[in-house]
Amino acid sequence: MTAAPEVLLTLPARPEGIGLVRQALAGMADALDFDEAVLADMKMAVTEACTNVVVHAYPQGEGMLEVEMLAAENGVTIVVRDHGFGIHPHAADAAATPALGLGLPLIAALSDAYELHGGAGAGTEVRMTFAFVRDHDPAAGRPVTGTVGPDGIWDCGA
Amino acid sequence: MEAKGIELEAAADDVLVVAVEGEHDIYTAPVLRQRLDEALATGGGIVVDLTGATFVDSSVLGALLDARRRALDAGHGYVVCVGETVEPGVQRILDITGLVPVLPVLRTRDEAVAAARAANGAAPT
């Protein structure tokens, strides 16, 4: 493998930008040794993290979405960051925006490791790691539980 | 980038197909919701054909589940199909969310149209 590419994308937190983030991931993956299934999981998990930013981070208006891609020996880490309210949903938003509530369960199931950082008003960071080659399926260890409830929101069954 | 690749196609007198192609996420989910609304308004069975789709996220699943609930409430058949060879960006999210039996998801459009027609007029669940 050649030198690790490091990419930082900064774009307005709007729905139309998330496809661009997926294209950047695909471009980066082309230069690395990615298993196709891992790349598909990475696109899905990063899409869900970016969607959380677009839907929840800036209820007062416009803000920026940051996506950082860091390559290491065994895989890549993708950091999705905002400078707003982050991934913590607000009741008012939930009513206005039809969201299923599956974003975080999908991020947990599709990444080999993930961390959430941040707090109210301090912005939020979702840090996801994806191995080039997997020895097990992360969705087996952290499966998405539950199903859709009668209200149309995901019910984890907890 | 534009919101393309979501079309209504008549499959038979009493079933409409909403054909979805390419990548879809929160940006194009409103267009999908609009097409599904149009299909629901015709009052027949609905098939959502994801054969040409390469990526769908949870925003798309939300739209599919909303339309499913409304179709079932109105007693209309509602079936999703994905084709014989399914893209990982479509199959994986359906598999890990357990939605294959819920939506339900079948393989070919022909199977899905037949199932949607058979379920048409069923009692609301």
In this structure, what token pair is assigned to residue A69?
Answer: 């891609």
Burial class (CB in 10 A: 0-12, 13-18, 19+), B84: exposed
In this structure, what token pair is assigned to residue A118?
Answer: 């941040």
Domain regions of chain B by residue span: 6-119
Instruction: Give A77's contacts (C-beta < 8 A, 6+ positions apart).
Output: A69, A70, A127, A128, A129, A130
Along the 158 residues of chain A, how does pLDDT read in single tens digits?
Answer: 444 558 899 999 999 999 999 999 999 888 887 888 999 999 999 999 999 999 988 988 899 999 999 988 889 999 999 998 755 554 444 444 556 789 999 999 999 999 999 877 778 999 999 999 899 999 999 999 888 887 777 888 76
From residue B102, alpha-carbon distances to A116, A146, B84 in Å are 31, 12, 19
Say if B65 is an interface residue toward chain A (CB within 8 Å).
yes
CB contact under 8 A, B88 and A37: yes
Among the partner residues A18, A20, A147, nearest to B98 by beta-carbon distance: A147
Tokens 């949903």 correspond to A89
What ipTM describes this predicted complex?
Answer: 0.91
Minimal C-alpha gap between A13 and chain B (Å): 12
CATH of A6-155, one of 3.30.460.80, 3.40.250.10, 3.30.200.20, 3.30.565.10: 3.30.565.10
Q: Are A145 and A105 in contact (CB under 8 A)?
A: yes
Say if A19 is an interface residue toward chain B (CB within 8 Å).
yes
Among residues A5, A7, A14, A6, the alpha carbon closest in space to that of A82 is found at: A14
Assign domain B6-119 to its CATH superfamily: STAS domain (3.30.750.24)
pTM of the complete model: 0.90
Domain regions of chain A by residue span: 6-155
